[in-house]
Amino acid sequence: MLLLLIGGWWLYKIMEKRKSIKLKQKFFRQNGGLLLQQQLSSSDQCISKTKVFSSEELETATDGFNVNRILGQGGQGTVYKGMLADGVIVAVKRSTMVGEENLEGFINEVCILSQINQRNIVRLLGCCLEAEVPLLVYEFIPNGTLSEYLHPQNEFPLSWEMRLQIAAETAGALCYLHSAASIPIYHRDIKSTNILLDHKYRAKIADFGTSRSLSVDQTHLTTNVQGTFGYLDPEYFWSSRFTDKSDVYSFGVVLAELLTGQKAILTNESQEHTNLAAHFVLLMEENRIFDIVDAQIKEHCPKEDVIGVANIAERCLNLNGKKRPTMKQVTSELERIIQLSQKKDVQQNNEEAESITAEVISAWDDASTSITCSSFQVDKALSSSDVEPLVPFKTW
């Protein structure tokens, strides 16, 4: 009986293990594992960078995908904060549902992020295909999204210098995707909620689910229109042709957000919706840009810097894509504004230091003159008195 019980228990464990393996294999195929393997094997760069996590690891890391661990939710899934066994804090993105479109976006994001190595683009650590829905594991970015700091107004407002730096870093990351990556990549969903801020408030572009890579000889993509209302390139909306200038338009909307602190879609008191891009361009044409500059930075930003950034944003928002600058040009212009601003700050600090030094020297001269006058008055008083002069000590 004892042998039968032990044998039965052992047999049950084997059956359960086989059942679990078969279920994981089913989920693997269902989540596009075979297609992902095929895509990754076509690029040697991807294999070493993409770690495959087990479902148990990520269950433990997120405390069973506890609702208290949720960092954010979107159309493609929910992001949870987790801690791996080695103590590394990560962000785990769990797809909302399994579908052909979701699956394509998931596989696309893994393939694209596995090829990217840029400091202002969120880093993919690995994925899991054995769960009921696909899971992606990213580096954890602690300070949330840019949108959270712009609207509604955050307790910790971003200074003008920080906004300018975030704009330059985001532009640099897009420039890398368009012209410096091994293959050109269009993000296709640039917006303030997809720009994360790390512990030093440096920008990190995220969410590459709708991104596409191109062959070297391609200049555009012809696809079904996808994107976020308010950031969508009107030219792409009319023609279904997505180019690098479509990303430039979306970045122009982000620049307008950084300058104004307003959302991409404005809502007035009568609940009517207005496009920020159109409103921004109209104010630029009327030379009234300072009417809409964010009150939190209005008194603390150089006017010439604001005008420079506003001019870049206006060019990015041109309805004719051919008249928009490239991201390389945008990056160069933003970096030039930052450098000029820093030079002015250094010059101003030097002038202040020179002014303080001059005041100290002047005060010292006045003090010396006063001391000299006092000494003269004492000597005069002594010479005019009946006091006999002091006899000097004898020198030994």
* Catalytic residue ranges: 189
The region that residue 202 occupies, defined by phi over 0 for left and psi between -120 and 50 for alpha, beta otherwise, is beta
Alpha carbons 40 and 28: distance in angstroms, whole number: 15
Cβ(282)–Cβ(313) under 8 Å? no
The burial of 195, by beta-carbon neighbours within 10 Å (0-12 exposed, 13-18 middle, 19 or more buried), is given as buried
Which among 296, 21, 5 has a CA at the least distance from the CA of 155?
Answer: 296
CA angle centred on 69, ends 65 and 71, rounded to 5°:
115
Tell me the CB-side half-sphere exposure of residue 376, using CA atoms within 13 A.
6
Q: Provide the Cα torsion 175, 93, 151, 287; round to 10°.
A: 20
Which amino acid does the sequence have at 254? V
C-alpha to C-alpha distance for 311 and 289, rounded to whole angstroms: 10
- Enter the DSSP assignment of 130: S
CA separation for the pair 37, 104 (Å, rounded): 13
Q: How far is CA 98 from CA 35, 94, 289, 374, 383, in A?
A: 15, 10, 46, 93, 106
Provide the CB-side half-sphere exposure for 220 (13 A, CA). Answer: 14
Q: Are strands 124-128 and 51-52 parallel, antiparallel or unpaired?
A: parallel
The amino acid present at 197, given as its one-letter code, is L
> According to the 3-state scheme, what is the secondary structure of 239-263?
HCEECHHHHHHHHHHHHHHHHHCCC
